[in-house]
Amino acid sequence: MDFATALRAILRQDPDVILLGEVRDAETAQVAFSAAMTGHLVFSTMHTNSTVETLARLYDLGLKPTVIASALEAVISQRLVRRICPRCRESVAPSDDQLRMLGPVFSDAPPQFCHGRGCPDCNGTGYAGRLPICEIFPPTPIRPAPRYFPGFVFSTGSSSRRAHSEKEPS
């Protein structure tokens, strides 16, 4: 029994929500999107580097753009970054290269830059715990689709992960 066959057996039980491990092949993608189009809420993972890359990957797996457009509710991409230790956190002046990487948006009021100097609580690393950096991509009727996804629309609200990862939350 393969993964797609097991997924079909699960669908015969008519669940409201399906938690699917990972979409790795065309058959699994087709079954998952068929389930989504028939009213099931399907959650799955896919190894890509960004939210937009997920759309290209689904297309590469053989899904038609119209199927992707009608069944996809949102794509969420996440990275985990190290959190600066709150006990030894201290402000530092940003270098010119760091400010240049942030771009003109932050030229008037650059964000506060911090680092951890190291303490017994963080074992001298300057970091304690991790923080998720998420990119959420909801298909919306704001921007026309690229030529590979006719009928699909993209939100203009997606912003660079780098800009968010450079600044530390308050």
The pLDDT of residue 98 is above 90: no
What's residue 154's pLDDT?
A: 47
The number of residues in the chain equals 170
What is residue 69's three-state secondary structure?
helix
Helix or strand (DSSP H, E) at 59: helix 51-60
54-84 tens-digit pLDDT: 999 999 999 998 888 888 888 988 889 999 9
DSSP of 127-152: EEEEEEEEEEE---TTBPPPTTSTT-
Residues 78 and 134: beta-carbon distance below 8 Å: yes
9-65 tens-digit pLDDT: 888 888 889 888 888 889 889 989 999 988 888 999 999 888 889 999 999 999 998
Residue 93 per-residue DSSP state: P
How many CB atoms sit inside 10 A of residue 63's CB?
21
What's residue 90's pLDDT?
A: 95
What's residue 141's pLDDT?
A: 57
134-167 tens-digit pLDDT: 888 887 654 444 444 444 444 444 443 333 334 4
Short-list 34, 58, 35, CA closest to 45:
58
What is residue 121's three-state secondary structure?
helix
Give the pTM. Answer: 0.63
